[in-house]
Amino acid sequence: MMLRSRTLMATAALNLLVVALIWAAGGAANIVSGIVALCLAPIAVWAVAEVAQRIDGSRNFALTAAAVYAVLPLIVWIYFLAPYRHFYFHKIAPSLVGLHSPAWFALGVGLVVASSRTPAFVLAAAGIVATTVAVSYWGTGPLHDVRNGLHETAWSIAFLTWLIVAGVAGAARRSPLLAVTVAGWLAFFVLRAAYAGYADGAFWHGIAPAMPAAALLLTSLWLLVPRLRPGPAPAA
């Protein structure tokens, strides 16, 4: 328990470092939003670890998910092509860590905290409802513009799609209800963000509340790897 607490504290510190790095690079002119982001970051790290623990039941998996969430803004930066990285780091990354629109970032923190305590069947129902509402209201047509935008600014679109599908499949191997929850969570904000358009980073601003879900799905890729079975006991 002590080891887990220390590791979580170290991961939260890493997350604070990422937020501070983006802040120092000119990510936010408002000092209030920076303080809010720094206060919410450790809470988000802890809650992501708690949800991951519910998915797999493994302490190592929970700590890995927290670490992935901590550095996810930097992972996303690597995904973009070089000409777009400067724009991402100065215009998009601040929204993903709460330096811009802290209330929008706080929504994502609130969702992951709620997911760490709410019964799984309630969360799954909410995920289904969220996806249904998003498809009915915004539709999937705007995703075509997002695809075109990614084609110009990022690496393989097919690989990104595979990461999402494979992450949901991995989570479903351990907890189908929470897999539906995280998938619905991500789908709702992706469709809403796609409706806002890809230009000027609007799409990426819109998915800020879904960053914890993205971290959980990315970590769940590990759950697709078959576990080693113990060998037969040696004969007497």
- Asked whether residue 236 is assigned to any structural domain, the reply reads no
Instruction: Say which residues have a Cβ less than 8 Å from residue 123's Cβ, sequence separation at least 6.
Output: 115, 177, 178, 181
Distance of alpha carbon 137 from alpha carbon 127, whole angstroms: 15
Pull the structure tokens for residue 142.
């705007």
- Asked whether residue 184 is assigned to any structural domain, the reply reads yes
| pLDDT of amino acid 110 | 96
- Asked whether residue 163 is assigned to any structural domain, the reply reads yes
Low-confidence ranges of the chain (pLDDT < 50): 1-3
Look at residues 146, 149, 155, 147 and name the one whose alpha carbon lies nearest to residue 80. 155
- Asked whether residue 231 is assigned to any structural domain, the reply reads no
Distance of alpha carbon 227 from alpha carbon 229, whole angstroms: 6
Residues 151-210 pLDDT 10s: 899 888 889 999 999 999 999 999 999 999 999 999 999 999 999 988 888 899 999 999
| pLDDT of amino acid 3 | 43
- Asked whether residue 164 is assigned to any structural domain, the reply reads yes
- Asked whether residue 232 is assigned to any structural domain, the reply reads no
Alpha helices per DSSP H over the chain: 2-22, 31-56, 59-79, 82-87, 93-96, 102-115, 120-137, 143-153, 157-174, 176-196, 202-206, 211-219
Cβ(136)–Cβ(17) under 8 Å?
Answer: no
- Asked whether residue 123 is assigned to any structural domain, the reply reads yes
- Asked whether residue 9 is assigned to any structural domain, the reply reads yes
Q: Which domain holds residue 147?
A: 2-224
Distance of alpha carbon 73 from alpha carbon 85, whole angstroms: 12
Residues 81-90 pLDDT 10s: 999 998 998 8
Residue at 183: amino acid letter: A
Task: Tally the domains of the chain.
Answer: 1
